[in-house]
Amino acid sequence: MQEVNEQVSEVIRLHVADTVAIARTAIPKGTVLNPYGVVVQQDIPAGHKVALHAVPKGQLVKRYGQVIGFASIPIEAGEHVHLHNISMQDFDRALEAAADKRPPVDAGRTAATRADTFMGIRREDGRVATRNFIGVLTTVNCSATVARAIENHFQSGLDEQFPNVDGVVALTQNFGCGIGTKTETMATLRRTLTGYAKHPNFAAVLIVGLGCESNQISDLFQFSGMEECDRLRTMTIQGAGGTQKAIEEGVAVIKQMLPAANLVERTPASVSEIILALECGGSDSYSGISANPALGYAVDRIVSQGGTAILSETSEIYGAEHLLTHRAISREVGDKLIRRIEWWEDYCRRTGSEMNNNPSAGNKAGGLTTILEKSLGGIAKAGTTPLVDVYEYAEPVEARGLVFMDTPGYDPMAVTGQVAGGANLLCFTTGRGSAFGCKPVPSLKLCSNDALWKRQEEDIDVNCGGIVTGAESLEEVGERIYRQILRMASGEKTKSEKFGYGSLEFVPWIKGAIM
């Protein structure tokens, strides 16, 4: 939380132990920072860090009350703190966390006694959908063109005849061959396809294969326990007799599915039926001050009523994982998360990569410096409730409460895993700007600052910039997000849906060798 006496300050200090503060707007050289009396030594870009006191070379630099790096050269009070004078080093994060563990929200914030509802679609198996699509999935890249042609056939005319169907969507992928049939990579791909084939937001699904691929439909069904039925059909191009015949067959199958898919209605459903995916992309320094903690407020509201939130992007919690393990409901859950971190460290060693390479050029231009700083801000999306479980990529999420899923930081790949795990909604925060969707799940985009809202309002659903300027409190913005989530779950279209985003953002994680 921002200090109350800093509402009119040129900077935001997030914790009394912080050595740096964040510029609300661009600060000219020579400005005297209120209430610190520090004279700014260089022009400070909006969202960037300024030192509140001197930091000797090799000493800790802190933000959020946590270490974000070390002074690579001596830093004087009032200096711009960024890539030129801060670096990463190994240190004992567990010791640092013991003193600065983030406190839980107060009882008024969680509002545990509330029992809100949204208008959802109850499926036969009891799960609740937020959208009603028919899906076309592919086992292999070779069937992608046919799947897209089937989707294209239904791009117009559905609204009049089948008003309760949100559309026919083809989610194609680039693999399915060149992968060992008994490898972890193939298992991950099949787990992802299974999660989508069973997703409640699909009223029905057609799976299209080529016929000779490594990822055979029969093997996928044996792996998943799925069986063909009226709502789950399969076909191959080779079996149909070629491309045109396959397109015609697929169109005929979808036409058979549409009448039953249209026989749905929205009825009141408990917030406990929400499974909310949490994602950030194009983050900036304001993200950890406004959009992410405001979303965390909404997460607390959902979890307090029995709902679920999925935090992901393992490579983007690196350096802040201790804040999650301290919140784990058991040592076993905490250890599961640490094992995923260790897997990523080994993965980087094997591939010649480096975890601190993660902040992108846009992240850095927005004021972020190290993966530690980015991770600490990113975790704020998860609110303050206990961590109840940790899942592998695309595993079915069965626990209620805050959970973690192991995914890369790459947005489409991370969200694909979350949706495969059962997420029926997505909230996506951004500071630099993002254009993203994830059919069959609606995506609500939140921006961290007023400048982005003014520049890219057509893509953003909620502006959280008032927290930065002091015009709104975190709780006020968080409540707006929460209410928008309920409207989105009830069928209100998000801006990404109106633009048609979501078909091309289906990107399963391919971990291993492609032969």
Angle made by CA atoms 28, 29, 32, in degrees to the nearest 5: 90
The encoded tokens of residue 275 equal 């499974």
- Quick one: pLDDT at residue 357? 65
The whole-chain average pLDDT of the chain stands at: 93
CA gap 324, 344 in Å, rounded:
17
- Quick one: pLDDT at residue 102? 42
CA gap 280, 286 in Å, rounded:
12
CA gap 117, 227 in Å, rounded:
33
What DSSP string describes 433-449? Answer: -----BTTB-EEEEESS
CA gap 101, 492 in Å, rounded:
38
Domain boundaries, given as residue ranges, for the chain: 4-99, 133-262, 273-499
Q: Give the pTM.
A: 0.94
Class of domain 133-262: alpha beta
To the nearest 10°, report the CA torsion of 459, 464, 465, 466.
Answer: 140
Ramachandran area for residue 200 (φ above 0: left; ψ -120 to 50: alpha; else beta): alpha
The reply to whether domains 4-99 and 133-262 share a CATH topology is no
- Identify whether the C-beta of residue 294 lies closer than 8 Å to the C-beta of residue 474: yes
Ramachandran area for residue 213 (φ above 0: left; ψ -120 to 50: alpha; else beta): beta
- Quick one: pLDDT at residue 94? 56
Q: Which of 457, 471, 289, 254 is nearest to 366 (CA)?
A: 289
Burial label, 482 (beta-carbon count in 10 A; 0-12, 13-18, 19+): buried
Residues of the chain with pLDDT under 50: 1-7, 95-112
Q: Which CATH number fits domain 4-99: 1.10.1040.10, 2.30.130.110, 1.20.1260.120, 3.40.50.880?
A: 2.30.130.110
CA gap 504, 506 in Å, rounded:
6
- Quick one: pLDDT at residue 90? 77
- Identify whether the C-beta of residue 388 lies closer than 8 Å to the C-beta of residue 332: no
Burial label, 498 (beta-carbon count in 10 A; 0-12, 13-18, 19+): exposed
CA 284 to chain centre: 15
- Quick one: pLDDT at residue 109? 46
